[in-house]
């Protein structure tokens, strides 16, 4: 009974530590980093539910006029875990032009990070005429871009009347993909001596072909009402509309100086690899989990190439399912891809992981660049089950060779008998370890029951080609894309055991429908493409269309990370 109380006290003592660990620091951001003098900017402060209280806004008064505050609560459930956030919005108007800094603010014992803000001179002679109640402007940046490069289309709606309703359309461009990114920004500005309310919206446009890209301008239609007119209460109002100007972009083809492989026109790109043993050592048969990360700005995650490790000499590599995602950084989209690899050393010695390179095109500097993961070595020792060599000193060897004197009773005396081992303390230590094990079992058991199952159906082990082929055709008719991929690889390994990934299988096949079917399967799994059930069955109905001479990798160089 006393042990249970001790265990309960231990668990309760950990609760404040967990709450302290989960309480994240508040994060501050601006809806724009460049404004004109007289315009407003919104400072958003994101806090968790654990944080209470309001921030001290007094440090803002020297450079800004605080126009008002607002609060927005959001609740989301991800993988059964409840996450709630609160965003505090503070409307600010700069007092002067120049390079200003939104200072750090204190809230609940924590502080936000300072933020830079560029304030230009008042653009009072702007494009929005003062005699029109509603004006719509569309600006494009840059005016010259490469195929696949993001073009930022900024749409601003200026209105100096009270709007009862309104519909704002989206731009369109033939031969390009158009995406709306981020949230609308709302602020005020002065044009032609008249104050306008402004709604700013950003779109990401990705040209697909070289040539001149024409962006069709969107339109706005709404109803303006006069608060002083009694007829406004009965739905009477004046219709207002506006159309943005037409925009054009000169789209250039992929430059000839770009390296072969995947075409990645980005503003910024980072490639990294983590998970290496801290001491640089490993053991035979014990897996090492390496994580390769690819992050890019100005390109969506769907356009990022698949990540892979080369075939390692002295280890087996088992890739896990890729994790992808996207977001935005200001007006630019961001994409990220993460690939985990289980690396299992197969022999004692030095495991060499070669340098990994990825060629990409920097659209800011208009130059080719290379992201590099340096080569690393891991010292691999014998596995825990292997017998360790024993070194015996000469004096000890001679002593071991001599026969030991026999005991009068015929039984060797126990080495613990004369040591006076404290059995009571050993019992107490074992009891404490048992209680800790029980507590850990209860905690992790509840987590396992509450966590959603992500394991797919088990594919039966089939080593013969014909049964494996029939099983693949059966699975391909269903909806489980992961099981279809595993069945396809199992069938391929029954013919060529060295094949482990879809990329290796595709490289071993001829150009044609089978490669296209594997690519369609990958798009359906990771990019939201249509289910290619009939395409897979038709392509592989008569077996594999192997290359006559399979590709052979050189022993010294690293094979291309992303083959065409």
| pLDDT reported for residue 11 | 52
- Asked whether residue 564 carries a pLDDT value surpassing 70, the answer given is no
What mean pLDDT comes out for the span 237-242? 85
Inside any domain, residue 411 = no
Q: Which of 252, 282, 298 is the last residue of a domain?
A: 252
| pLDDT reported for residue 238 | 82
The pair of structure tokens assigned to 123 is 């653009």
* Overall domain count for the chain: 4
Express each pLDDT in 315-359 by its tens digit.
999 999 999 998 888 889 999 999 999 999 999 999 999 999 999
Q: Which residue has the higher pLDDT, 122 or 176?
A: 176
Q: Which residue has the tokens 């069945």?
A: 487
| pLDDT reported for residue 366 | 95
- Asked whether residue 470 carries a pLDDT value surpassing 60, the answer given is yes
The pair of structure tokens assigned to 79 is 């993988």
Compute the distance between CA of residue 510 and CA of residue 530 in angstroms, rounded to an integer. Answer: 24
Q: Are 245 and 282 part of one and the same domain? A: no
- pLDDT grade for 150, boundaries at 50, 70 and 90: very high
Of the ranges 160-169, 258-267, 400-409, 517-526, which one carries the lowest mean pLDDT score?
400-409
Q: Are 308 and 210 part of one and the same domain? A: no
| pLDDT reported for residue 124 | 46
What mean pLDDT comes out for the span 60-66? 88
Q: Which residue has the higher pLDDT, 453 or 203?
A: 203
Express each pLDDT in 357-406 by its tens digit.
999 999 999 999 999 999 999 999 997 654 444 333 343 433 433 344 44
Residue 476: phi and psi, rounded to 5, are: -65, -20
Q: Which residue has the tokens 């200003």?
A: 100
| pLDDT reported for residue 239 | 86
What mean pLDDT comes out for the span 57-64? 89
Q: Which residues contact 480 (CB under 8 A, 6 or more apart)?
A: 456, 457
Q: Are 221 and 272 part of one and the same domain? A: no
| pLDDT reported for residue 46 | 83
Q: What percent of the chain has pLDDT over 90?
A: 35
- Asked whether residue 31 carries a pLDDT value surpassing 50, the answer given is yes
What mean pLDDT comes out for the span 403-415? 40
Q: Are 47 and 149 part of one and the same domain? A: no
Q: Are 545 and 514 in contact (CB under 8 A)?
A: yes
Q: Are 146 and 181 part of one and the same domain? A: yes
Compute the distance between CA of residue 339 and CA of residue 373 in angstroms, rounded to an integer. Answer: 14
Q: Are 248 and 271 part of one and the same domain? A: no
Q: Are 217 and 273 part of one and the same domain? A: no
Inside any domain, residue 550 = no
| pLDDT reported for residue 129 | 56
- Asked whether residue 207 carries a pLDDT value surpassing 50, the answer given is yes
DSSP 128-180: S-TT-SEEEEEEEE-SEEETT--EEEEEEEEE-SEEEEEEE---EETTEEEEE
The pair of structure tokens assigned to 289 is 């989990």
Inside any domain, residue 505 = yes
Q: Which residue has the higher pLDDT, 73 or 50?
A: 73
Q: Are 109 and 77 part of one and the same domain? A: yes
Q: Which of 202, 229, 252 is the last residue of a domain?
A: 252
| pLDDT reported for residue 41 | 81
- Asked whether residue 64 carries a pLDDT value surpassing 60, the answer given is yes
- Asked whether residue 440 carries a pLDDT value surpassing 80, the answer given is no
Compute the distance between CA of residue 300 and CA of residue 186 in angstroms, rounded to an integer. Answer: 26
Positive or negative, the CA dihedral 190, 192, 193, 197 is: negative
Half-sphere exposure of 492 (CA within 13 A, CB side): 24
Inside any domain, residue 178 = yes
Mean pLDDT score of the chain, rounded to an integer? 79
Inside any domain, residue 443 = no
Q: How many CB atoms lie within 10 A of CB 242?
A: 22
Inside any domain, residue 2 = no
Q: Which domain holds residue 484?
A: 465-539
Q: Which residue has the higher pLDDT, 367 or 446?
A: 367
Q: Which of 252, 281, 296 is the last residue of a domain?
A: 252
Q: What percent of the chain has pLDDT over 70?
A: 75
Inside any domain, residue 239 = yes
- Asked whether residue 407 carries a pLDDT value surpassing 90, the answer given is no
- Asked whether residue 449 carries a pLDDT value surpassing 90, the answer given is no
Nearest to 518 by CA among 500, 539, 498: 539
Half-sphere exposure of 10 (CA within 13 A, CB side): 13
| pLDDT reported for residue 276 | 94
- Asked whether residue 253 carries a pLDDT value surpassing 50, the answer given is yes
Q: Are 238 and 283 part of one and the same domain? A: no
Compute the distance between CA of residue 335 and CA of residue 300 in angstroms, rounded to an integer. Answer: 5
Q: Are 468 and 489 in contact (CB under 8 A)?
A: no
Q: Are 103 and 184 part of one and the same domain? A: no
Q: Are 104 and 31 part of one and the same domain? A: yes
Express each pLDDT in 512-561 by its tens digit.
889 988 988 888 887 677 778 888 888 998 899 888 765 544 444 444 55
| pLDDT reported for residue 555 | 42
Q: Are 480 and 509 part of one and the same domain? A: yes
Q: Is 235 helix (H, G, I), strand (E, B) or coil?
A: coil
Find which of 53-57, 158-162, 365-369 is predicted with most confidence, using mean pLDDT. 365-369
Say which CATH number the domain at 159 has.
2.60.40
- pLDDT grade for 111, boundaries at 50, 70 and 90: confident
Residue 195: phi and psi, rounded to 5, are: -85, 130
The Cα-based distances of 363 to 146, 205, 537 in angstroms read 8, 15, 42
Inside any domain, residue 11 = no
Positive or negative, the CA dihedral 315, 317, 318, 321 is: positive
**Parallel, antiparallel, or unpaired: how do β-strands 115-120 and 98-102 relate?**
antiparallel
| pLDDT reported for residue 155 | 94
Q: Which residue has the higher pLDDT, 434 or 187?
A: 187
């Amino acid at each position: 009974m006393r042990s249970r109380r001790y265990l309960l006290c231990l668990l309760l003592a950990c609760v404040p530590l967990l709450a302290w660990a989960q309480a994240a620091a508040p994060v501050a951001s601006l809806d724009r980093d460049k404004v004109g003098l007289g315009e407003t900017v919104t400072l958003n402060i994101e806090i968790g539910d654990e944080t209470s209280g309001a921030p001290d806004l007094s440090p803002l008064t020297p450079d800004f006029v605080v126009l008002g505050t607002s609060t927005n609560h959001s609740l989301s459930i991800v993988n059964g875990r409840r996450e709630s956030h609160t965003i505090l919005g503070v409307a600010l108007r700069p007092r002067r032009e120049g390079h200003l800094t939104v200072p750090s603010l204190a809230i609940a014992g924590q502080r936000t990070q300072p933020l830079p803000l560029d304030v230009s001179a008042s653009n009072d002679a702007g494009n929005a005429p003062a005699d029109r109640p509603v004006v719509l402007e569309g600006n494009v940046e840059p005016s010259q871009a490469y195929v696949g490069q993001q073009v930022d289309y900024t749409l601003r709606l200026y209105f100096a009347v009270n709007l009862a309703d309104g519909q704002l359309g989206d731009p369109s461009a033939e031969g390009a993909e158009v995406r709306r990114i981020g949230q609308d920004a709302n602020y005020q500005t002065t044009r032609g001596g008249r104050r306008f309310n402004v709604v700013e919206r950003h779109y990401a446009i990705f040209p697909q072909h070289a040539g001149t890209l024409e962006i069709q301008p969107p339109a706005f239609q709404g109803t303006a009402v006069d608060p002083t007119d009694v007829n406004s209460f009965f739905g009477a109002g004046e219709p207002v509309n506006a159309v943005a100007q037409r925009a054009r972009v000169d789209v250039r083809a992929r430059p000839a100086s770009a390296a072969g492989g995947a075409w990645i026109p980005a503003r910024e790109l980072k490639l990294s690899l983590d998970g290496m043993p801290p001491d640089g050592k490993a053991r035979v048969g014990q897996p090492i989990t390496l994580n390769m990360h690819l992050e890019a700005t100005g390109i969506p995650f769907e356009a990022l190439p698949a990540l892979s490790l080369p075939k390692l000499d002295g280890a087996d590599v088992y890739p896990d399912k890729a994790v992808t995602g996207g977001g935005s950084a200001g007006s630019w989209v961001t994409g990220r891809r993460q690939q985990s690899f289980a690396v299992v050393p197969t022999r004692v010695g030095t495991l060499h992981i070669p340098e990994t390179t990825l060629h990409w095109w920097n659209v800011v500097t208009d130059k080719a660049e290379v992201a590099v993961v340096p080569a690393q070595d891991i010292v691999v020792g014998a596995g825990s089950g292997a017998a360790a060599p024993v070194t015996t000193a000469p004096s000890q060897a001679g002593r071991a060779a001599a026969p030991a004197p026999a005991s009068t009773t015929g039984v060797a005396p126990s080495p613990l008998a004369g040591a006076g081992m404290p059995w009571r303390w050993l019992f107490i230590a074992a009891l404490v370890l048992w209680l800790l094990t029980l507590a850990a079992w209860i905690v992790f058991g509840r987590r396992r029951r509450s966590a959603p199952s992500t394991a797919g159906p088990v594919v039966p082990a089939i080593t013969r080609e014909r049964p494996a082929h029939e099983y693949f055709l059966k699975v391909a008719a269903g909806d489980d894309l992961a099981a279809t991929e595993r069945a396809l690889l199992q069938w391929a390994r029954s013919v060529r055991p060295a094949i482990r990934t879809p990329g290796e299988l595709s490289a071993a096949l001829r150009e044609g429908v089978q490669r296209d079917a594997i690519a369609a399967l990958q798009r359906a799994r990771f990019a939201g493409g249509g289910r290619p059930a009939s395409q897979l069955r038709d392509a592989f109905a008569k077996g594999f269309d192997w290359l006559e001479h399979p590709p052979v990798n050189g022993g010294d160089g690293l094979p291309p990370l992303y083959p065409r």
